[in-house]
Every structure is written in C-alpha cells, then in structure tokens.
Amino acid sequence: MTEKRHVRPYGDTSGDGMVQVSFTLPVAHGPRAEGAALLLANKMGIDPAMVVHANPIGPDFTFFVVYGSVTHIVDMAEVVVVEREYPLLPPGEVNTALKRLLRRKLVVVGACIGTDAHTVGIDAILNIKGFAGEKGLEYYRELRVVNLGAQVAVPDLVKRARAEKADAVLVSQVVTQRDAHILNTQEMSAAFREAMGERRPLLIAGGPRFDPRMAGELGVDRVFSRGTTPGEVASYLAHAVAQKHVPTAPDAPGTSSAGKAPKAPKTTAAKKKETVRA
C-alpha cells in the first residue's frame, strides 16, 4: 500500500478523524467541569467532541475521557523525523554487536569529576537499577563497568582508565556553579589527549546542564543531556565502537601484541581493536 499524502485518524471509517483522549482538570465534578472539558477538546481540534466519561477525583479534580473527530489533517510531506545518529538497540542486540566487534567485554569507566558529589546521573546510567524502567549498563553482559563514584580528580580518572584499559569514559556533572561543568569536562578531555593521544578512550559527558551540541567545544565524543536513559548510552557505545572499527586503513596486524588476540578473527574490526589496545 502506498502512503497516502494526507491522513486523518481512523476510528472505524476512512477519514472519520476519530480520536480518544483522557485528561484531568482541576475543576470540581459537575456541568461546568464537563463544559470546560468540551471547550478544551474543541481547542485541541476535536470537533464535535463527546465527553463519554467524567469522574470526580477528590473534591477538586475531574477525570475525563473524550471521543471526537479532529479537524486536523496531516500532510505526510511535512513529516520531519529527527534521526538519532545511531539506532536504539535492546540490551541483547547491544551485547551481540559488541561481542561481534570486540570479542571481549567493552570496558566502561564512569565518574563524577571535580567537586561534584552528585552521583545520581552516573549511577542512573551505570547501576543495574537503571533509570526510567531501563537497566543500567552493569546489566549488559558485554560491558564491564567500573564506577569510580563521586569527586574523582582528573589525574586519578586518567590513571584508572589506563589501568582498566577503558574503551569508554563516562563523566557526569550534575551540580555545577557558573560554568564549572564545562571547565571540568574540558580539563578532563585535555588530560586524556595529553596522556594518551589518539589512543584515548571514547569520552562521553553527561548532565542536565549540558547541551548535546557542545561535544566539540568540550573535546569529547558525545554529550548526553537531561533525560538520557541507559539504553541510549549503551546503543551509542555499540554504534561508536562500530564506527571506530570500520576497517578503513587497518594497522599492520603484526604490531598486535595483545595477550588475548582472538584465535581466528573473522573481521578486521576485531583485529584492529586488538591493535589499538596493544
């Protein structure tokens, strides 16, 4: 079936425009409340609207279910979808992708840097408990998570990331004065560049005050802002690892001295990864 250019909601007949909505108004149950619900429905473009259910919630609120036909028409030509640069994968697929690419666990080191003692952000992403109904990165079989917690000094973070052979470093900045979150993150990315150059791990910054467009300015690979879920970060990791190991100009395999080189690497990606980590 080819897509129609102009569409309206479908109740039980093409073009009937029928929708159902439910909402609560802070108005005592009664005729005035129902009138208010109809008025709201009309303003939402539902006309005619039917209040099919009105139920008091305590003395001051009323809950409504409204059915009706919306006057709006959607022009499919106007639909713009903002594409995430990576697909959102369920945990199983993230694990499969990482296993295929790396043939070992991906190491993630997380920390709150600077004076920030608020680990709420990093913990929501890393702890198995997770956030917004999604399990944290610890839940992923193919991730090895090292959460350093709060108030980690940048030199310590770099040292630990090296010791753990981190593939990715996640830093969180929740509570910040002036632009401390920006300065701290820049200090962090500069330290990794200086210490490790091109072999630095993926750097990811997160926190409610960050703007995702700031990655370049901060010197990191990706910035996550308010409301980010563990699944998004995990999916990004799978994506970033895949990007990093697209076999463009593979290093000479002979330089690999990693102890656990895969026995018979099927993909150059796996080989390349071992080289980078050597």
Partner 1 sequence: MALLDLDPEVVATARRLAAAAAAPVVEIARSHTTVSVERATLRLAGITGADSTHRAGDVPWVNRVVDAVVEHCGLEHGVSLPVFHALREHDLGSLTELAEATAAGQVRYTLPTGRDAVRAAKAARAAVAKGLRTVDRNRAQRDKLVARLGDPPRRPWIYLIVATGDIDEDVVQAANAARAGADIIAVIRSTGQSLIDYVPEGATHHGFAGTYATQENFRIMRAAMDEVSKEVGRYVRVTNYASGLCMPEIAVLAGLQRLDMMLNDSMYGILFRDINPIRTFVDQRFSRQVHARAGIIINTGEDNYLTTADAVDAAHTVTVSQLLNEHFAHEAGLPDPLLGLGHAFEINPRVPDSFRLELAHALLARELFPDAPLKWMPPTKHMTGDVFNGYLLDGFFNLAGVLTGQSILLVGMMTEAVVTPFLSDRDLALANVRYVLDAAGGLAEDFRPAPDGLIVKRAHQVLGEAVDLLGRIVDDGLLDAIARGTFGLMKRPADQGRGADGVVAKAAGYLNPASDLLDEGAEK
Stretch that binds partner 1, among 80-88, 118-126, 244-252, 259-267 (CB under 8 A): 118-126
Binding flag, residue 255, partner 1 (CB under 8 A): no
User: 139: helix, coil or strand?
Assistant: helix
Three-class HEC string of 213-231: HHHHHHCCCEEECCCCCHH
Contacts of 84 (CB under 8 A, 6+ apart): none
Are 225 and 211 in contact by the 8 Å Cβ rule? The answer is yes
CB 50 within 8 A of CB 67: yes
Residues in 55-114 at the binding interface with partner 1, rule: CB under 8 A: 55, 57-58, 61, 63
165 assigned to active site: no
Count the Cβ atoms, other than its own, within 10 Å of residue 16.
13
17-25, 101-109, 192-200, 242-250 -> range binding partner 1 (CB under 8 A): 17-25
The amino acid sitting at 16 is D
Q: Which of 124, 161, 166, 241 lies at the binding interface for partner 1 (CB under 8 A)?
A: 124
Catalytic residue among 4, 99, 105, 129: 129
118, 160, 209, 244: which one contacts partner 1 (CB under 8 A)? 118
Please select the residue that binds partner 1; options are 100, 105, 135, 160, rule is CB under 8 A.
135
Q: Is 3 helix (H, G, I), strand (E, B) or coil?
A: coil
Whole-angstrom distance, CA of residue 222 vs CA of residue 240: 10
The nearer residue to partner 1, 20 or 255, going by C-beta atoms, is: 20
Site for partner 1, rule CB under 8 A: 22-24, 55, 57-58, 61, 63, 117-120, 123-124, 127-129, 131-133, 135, 138-139, 147, 149
